[in-house]
Structure 1
Amino acid sequence: MRVDEEESRIGLGDDCYLDLDGEFLMKDGERLFLTAIAFRLLRFFAEHPGEIISSQDLIRRGWGKDSMVERDELYVYINTIRASLEDTPGRPRCLRTIRGQGYILYPRDKSSLW
C-alpha cells in the first residue's frame, strides 16, 4: 500500500485504492462511496498497513478523542468497510480482527489463498 501524492490515492492492493480528493473507494473498476466515518476509518487503516490498531484508537480517529461511542457502533462501521472492501465480507482477508487487540489491514491480493 502506498500513497501517491500527485494523484492523492492510497493503494490497497489488487485493483483497489482510496481516492482522497473524491473521498471514495475504487474497487475492481467500481467507485464505492462510504460514509464520512467509514472513509476516515479506512483511510486510517490504509495509512497504517500491517499494524494492529486498537478499537480505542479507531473510535478516537473516527469520532474524536472525547467521543462516547461504544464498540458496538465501531463494529457496524468495520462491517460496512468489509462489505465494500472484501470479496467475501463474512470471511475477511484484508481487514482482519486480531482477537483482544484490534484490527489489521492487509493489501487486497486476489491470488492469495488463505
Structure 2
Amino acid sequence: MRLLELTEPVMLTISVNDYAMEAQRLMAQQQSGWIVVLEGLQMIGVVFAQELGALPPATLNDLDVREYLRPFPLTVSSDVSIEEAKRQLIRSGLDFMAVMENNQPIGILTLASLEQKRLQQRQAG
C-alpha cells in the first residue's frame, strides 16, 4: 500500500480572508472534516470542522478563518513509506501532516486514517 492511498485529497478550499461560518457551511455541505486555507493560490494550512463545531454558531459570523488556521507544520513527500510517515507524525506529537508532491500540498494524512487502516488490516487477517 502506498502513502497516497491513505491521503485525503484536497477537495475543499477557502480563502484566508473568509469567515469561519463560510468554512463551516462548506464542510457541512460536503461532509468533510477539514478545509484547506488558501492565501492567493498558496495552501497555507487547514481548518478542522471539529474545532469550529465546538464554538457557539452565532460567533462564527464574526470570526476570520485565520483565527482557526492550523498551518502545515509538518510535511512529507508522497513517496515516503507509510511507516516513515507514521513515525514522523508520532515523533512530532501532531495528528496531521500535509502530503506534498512537487512542493505543493496534495492532501492530508491523519493519525486517525493510519489507525483506521491498521485496524482494517488486523480484522482482515
Task: Give the TM-score normalised by structure 1.
Answer: 0.26
- Structure with larger Rg: 2
- Which structure would you say has the larger RCO, counting Cα contacts within 8 Å and 6 or more residues apart? 2
Task: Tell me which protein shows more helix as a share of its residues.
Answer: 2
Task: Give the TM-score normalised by structure 2.
Answer: 0.24
